[in-house]
Amino acid sequence: MTQRSKWITIDADYTDALADLSRFGFCLKQYGVASALEQSNRGGHLWIFMAEPLLAGDCRIYVCDVAVRLGIPVKQGRQREGIEIFPKHDALKPGRYGNAIRGPLGIHRGAGRRFWFDGAAQDIEVQMRYLSSLSKLAREHLARLIAGKAMPAHPAPLEPNAEPETRRHARGREFRILDHITNPLHIVGHNNVTRCPSCAEDGHDRSGDNLSISIEDPRKYICWAGCTKAMIRAVIGYPQPAQHA
């Protein structure tokens, strides 16, 4: 409702992601911005906490500007590698929610474990004290950092060998995941959430919320428990063509 957030997170899960996040954190520190690095299943999250909820658009301008200066790609469009910035939107339409991300020290649903922050012992109380001790980014400080700046342009070239999921097959029919979903759909933020067919085949996902399907573009879907698209499509009897394997 306020288009503000009390934190911003840089999520990276590619090769050398932790090295890029460490560089990012070092750069932030040079400008008096504290951050906390938390490892994840395939990379890590770099968290910045605010003294008060600040405009998401202003926070994103600052982080994107730093990324461009460091030469760290920002994932967008069909670009598969790069950092993701949460909040993902400058503003939300009335009644809509932003994209979800696992909170600090939360249990990773896929890995089934907690990932710790660098800089403190692996004990929940010690970690909480560490996070509480970090200086928080104030509104006036952020205003100085982005003075005269706007959201930078990020080139997002297609990968040379990438093919969109929507490619039409030899039989001329485009695959649509929603055509094969029989369980109820629930709206969470910008996504439809339902039971993952692959998880259900193995007797998992009893809560029925592992599969997330984009409302705006149903071609985009993901199982938060780690099932691949190939696994999901195999279970529903519509396997990916050999060239997509």
141-190 tens-digit pLDDT: 999 999 998 887 653 333 333 333 333 333 445 678 887 887 788 887 77
Contact 42, 17 (CB under 8 A): yes
Q: Where are the domains of the chain?
A: 4-145, 177-244
In 3D space, the residue among 56, 53, 8, 55 whose CA is nearest the CA of residue 33 turns out to be 8
Q: What is the pLDDT of residue 14?
A: 84
Q: What is the pLDDT of residue 75?
A: 79
Written as six digits, the tokens of 111 are 């890995």
Q: Strand pairing partners for 47?
A: 9, 36
Written as six digits, the tokens of 189 are 């933020």
Average pLDDT of the chain to the nearest whole number: 83
First to last CA, the chain: 42
Query: What confidence category does residue 245 fall into, taking pLDDT thresholds of 50, 70 and 90?
Result: very low
Q: What is the pLDDT of residue 151?
A: 83
In 3D space, the residue among 200, 205, 222 whose CA is nearest the CA of residue 213 turns out to be 222
Using the 8-state DSSP alphabet, how is residue 25 labeled? H
Mean pLDDT of all residues in 45-56: 96
pTM of the model as a whole: 0.63
The answer to whether residue 126 scores a pLDDT higher than 50 is yes
71-122 tens-digit pLDDT: 888 876 555 678 999 998 889 888 888 888 888 998 888 788 899 999 899 9
| 198 or 128, which is more confident | 128
CA distances (Å), origin 142, targets 6, 30, 149: 13, 14, 11
The answer to whether residue 221 scores a pLDDT higher than 70 is yes
Q: What is the pLDDT of residue 156?
A: 37
Contact 58, 50 (CB under 8 A): no
Could you give the 3-state DSSP secondary structure of residue 56?
Answer: helix
CA distances (Å), origin 218, targets 64, 206, 211: 27, 23, 12
Contacts of 104 (CB under 8 A, 6+ apart): 36, 38, 47, 117, 131
In 3D space, the residue among 65, 74, 26, 25 whose CA is nearest the CA of residue 46 turns out to be 25
The answer to whether residue 30 scores a pLDDT higher than 80 is yes
Q: So what's the architecture of 4-145 in CATH? A: 2-Layer Sandwich (3.30)
Q: Where are the alpha helices (DSSP H) in 48-133?
A: 56-70, 124-133
Q: What is the pLDDT of residue 153?
A: 66
Written as six digits, the tokens of 151 are 């959201």
Dump strand ranges (E) for 4-163. Answer: 4-12, 36-39, 44-55, 84-86, 107-108, 113-114
